[in-house]
């Protein structure tokens, strides 16, 4: 696109649920603006808050490729519903019309004579034309010039015009944001991150509800390789795009797993291990001010996720365990993992620490009394504190 004669490229952001917040709205918007600035710290941007819209201005003469990169990056920030690469033009109906014509000319829709509609909005009522007049005027110019049919109900191409205080925005670009709430507006959680497909998606889902998420990974070292740690690190790096400043801790878990095996846990080994993970996570959460744990459990997916076994895990900790995938099908989780860019990483081979304790006939309905007995023999509470003492922190380079 080459429209510099008519205006400057910029990026418009539409907020979602935030606009439903009454008195807290300002707090949410402050956080969102901070998150946007952090995500775009590699770019020179001037953020302008307008009513229900955030406009990101770029220095004069900035190329459209830069605006494109900004639009792409900012669409990863939770709390934004729609992102538009727009053109900022003078508040003059003839300039607006020319800009709309140029924009349409460069779309693929023009060659296949796709249907279109013009949608105008005025945030400044002093503009000489009403929204309806602008729609009709620009619409008939596009129709006359390119012969595209108008479809108000179901257009293939939408030309949007927003009349603002100091300028007019014109765009045909509509890309989805992540939706949800700004990270940090719901507090802090600790995600139990395996190398699997589910837990990264679970962490993402909670970020999108405003939680800032830290990550805890249990590795079977010294009895497994370090592959799963690299995977966890790669997953956190990818997920970091949605929140920034992510922290990953790794628990060397192999020896504790060995103790579980020699404790006579037998068919309960897997659940006993899950509970020990949760107790360790609770300890780490307290130290780092997280008030919830997050797992990738989905009801009935594997034997550790039967209703009875999930209940047996809940009683291992006083913290709430958030399980955002509990009601999702595997196919839905896989689709989301693909969309957020974690699937390919999760599919890399690794030596999952869980296989150390996998039994041929795992218990499907663990009883709390049996687990408590095993934990007494293990001194699980003390073990969890020791494990929390032994965590290794991994820094994410910016
Ligand atoms: P995932 O795909 O997330 O590994 P899964 O379907 O394989 O999940 P499980 O292996 O039963 O299911 O694990 C259930 C949840 O327990 C995981 O989603 C994760 O939150 C946690 N978990 C399992 N293994 C680990 C680990 N090695 N480190 C940290 N958390 C783990
Ligand atoms: Mg797993």
- Look-up of token digits 């103790």: 259
Cα of 295 vs centre of ligand 1, distance in Å, is 7
pTM of the model: 0.94
The domain locations on the chain are 8-176, 188-395
- Look-up of token digits 């095996």: 261
Please tell me the residue having the least CA distance from ligand 1 atom 8. Answer: 198
- pLDDT, residue 54, reads 96
Q: Which of 148, 13, 161 is nearest to 92 (CA)?
A: 161
Cα of 302 vs centre of ligand 2, distance in Å, is 9
pLDDT of the chain along its 398 residues, tens only?
Answer: 455 557 899 999 999 877 777 778 888 999 999 999 999 999 999 999 987 799 999 999 999 999 999 999 999 999 999 999 999 999 999 999 999 999 999 999 999 999 999 999 998 888 999 999 999 999 999 999 999 999 999 999 999 999 998 999 999 999 999 999 999 999 999 999 999 999 999 999 999 999 999 999 999 999 988 899 999 999 999 999 999 999 999 999 999 999 998 888 788 899 999 999 999 999 999 999 999 999 999 998 777 788 988 999 999 999 999 999 999 999 999 999 999 999 999 999 887 766 766 777 777 877 889 899 999 999 999 999 999 999 999 987 65
Whether residue 305 is annotated as binding a ligand: the answer is yes
Cα of 31 vs centre of ligand 1, distance in Å, is 31
Tell whether domain 188-395 is in CATH 3.40.50.620: yes
- pLDDT, residue 1, reads 47
Give backbone dihedrals phi and psi of 215, rounded to 5 degrees, phi first: -125, 140
Residue 120 to residue 135: CA distance in whole angstroms: 6
Cα of 397 vs centre of ligand 1, distance in Å, is 25
Alpha helices for the chain (secondary structure H): 25-39, 64-74, 93-105, 131-146, 198-207, 227-239, 254-261, 269-287, 307-314, 330-339, 343-346, 368-378, 380-389
Residue whose CB lies within 8 A of the most ligand 1 atoms, among 296, 366, 388, 394, for a mutation test:
296
Instruction: State which ligand 1 atom lies nearest to the alpha carbon of 296.
Output: 18
Cα of 127 vs centre of ligand 1, distance in Å, is 57
Q: What is the DSSP letter of 150?
A: B
- pLDDT, residue 5, reads 58
Report the chain's terminal Cα–Cα distance, integer Å: 31
Cα of 178 vs centre of ligand 1, distance in Å, is 24
Whether residue 218 is annotated as binding a ligand: the answer is yes
- pLDDT, residue 397, reads 67
- pLDDT, residue 334, reads 98
Q: Which residues line ligand 1 (CB under 6 A)?
A: 192-194, 196-199, 217-218, 277, 295-297, 301-302, 304-305, 353-354
Count the Cβ atoms, other than its own, within 10 Å of residue 393. 8
Whether residue 296 is annotated as binding a ligand: the answer is yes
Tell whether domain 8-176 is in CATH 3.40.50.720: no
Whether residue 274 is annotated as binding a ligand: the answer is yes
Angle between helices 380-389 and 269-287 (to 10 degrees): 50
Residue 216 to residue 191: CA distance in whole angstroms: 6
Q: Are 28 and 91 in contact (CB under 8 A)?
A: no
Please tell me the residue having the least CA distance from ligand 1 atom 10. Answer: 354
Please tell me the residue having the least CA distance from ligand 1 atom 7. Answer: 196
Residue whose CB lies within 8 A of the most ligand 1 atoms, among 191, 193, 196, for a mutation test:
196
Q: Which ligand is nearest to the CA of 302?
A: 1
Element (H, E) at 282: helix 269-287
Q: What is the largest CA-CA distance in the chain?
A: 83
Q: Which ligand is nearest to the CA of 221?
A: 1
């Amino acid at each position: 696109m080459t429209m510099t004669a008519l205006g400057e490229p910029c990026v418009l952001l539409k907020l979602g649920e935030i606009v439903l917040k009454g008195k807290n709205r300002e707090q949410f918007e402050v956080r969102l603006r901070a998150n946007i600035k952090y995500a775009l710290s590699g770019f020179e941007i001037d953020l302008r808050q307008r009513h229900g819209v955030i406009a990101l201005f770029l220095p004069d003469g900035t190329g459209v490729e830069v605006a494109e990169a900004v639009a792409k990056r900012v669409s990863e920030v939770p709390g934004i519903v729609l992102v538009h690469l727009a053109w900022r033009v003078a508040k003059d109906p003839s300039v607006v019309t020319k800009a709309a014509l140029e924009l349409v000319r460069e779309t693929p829709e023009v060659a296949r004579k796709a249907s279109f509609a013009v949608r105008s909005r005025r945030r400044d009522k002093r503009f000489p034309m009403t929204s309806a007049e602008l729609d009709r005027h620009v619409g008939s110019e596009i129709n006359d010039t390119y012969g595209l049919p108008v479809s108000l109900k179901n257009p293939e191409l939408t030309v949007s015009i927003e009349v603002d205080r100091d300028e007019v925005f014109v765009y045909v670009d509509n890309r989805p944001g992540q939706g949800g709430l700004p990270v940090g507006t719901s507090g802090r959680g600790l995600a139990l991150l395996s190398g699997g497909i589910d837990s990264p998606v679970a962490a993402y889902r909670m970020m999108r509800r405003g939680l800032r998420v830290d990550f805890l990974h249990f590795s079977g070292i010294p009895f497994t390789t370090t592959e799963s740690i690299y995977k966890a690190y790669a997953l956190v790096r990818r997920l970091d795009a949605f929140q920034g400043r992510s922290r990953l801790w790794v628990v060397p878990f192999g020896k504790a797993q060995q103790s579980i095996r020699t404790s006579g846990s037998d068919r309960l080994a897997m659940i006993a291990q899950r509970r020990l993970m949760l107790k360790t996570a609770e300890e780490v959460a307290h130290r780092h001010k997280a008030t919830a744990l997050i797992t990738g459990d989905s009801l009935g997916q594997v034997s550790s996720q039967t209703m009875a076994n999930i209940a047996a895990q809940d009683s291992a900790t006083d913290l709430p365990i958030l399980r955002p995938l509990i009601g999702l099908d595997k196919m839905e989780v896989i689709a989301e993992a693909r969309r957020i860019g974690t699937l390919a990483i999760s599919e890399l081979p690794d030596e999952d620490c869980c296989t150390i304790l996998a039994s041929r006939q795992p218990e499907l309905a663990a009883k709390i009394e049996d687990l408590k007995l095993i934990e007494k023999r293990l001194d699980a509470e003390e073990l969890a504190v020791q494990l929390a003492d032994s965590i290794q922190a991994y820094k994410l380079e910016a």
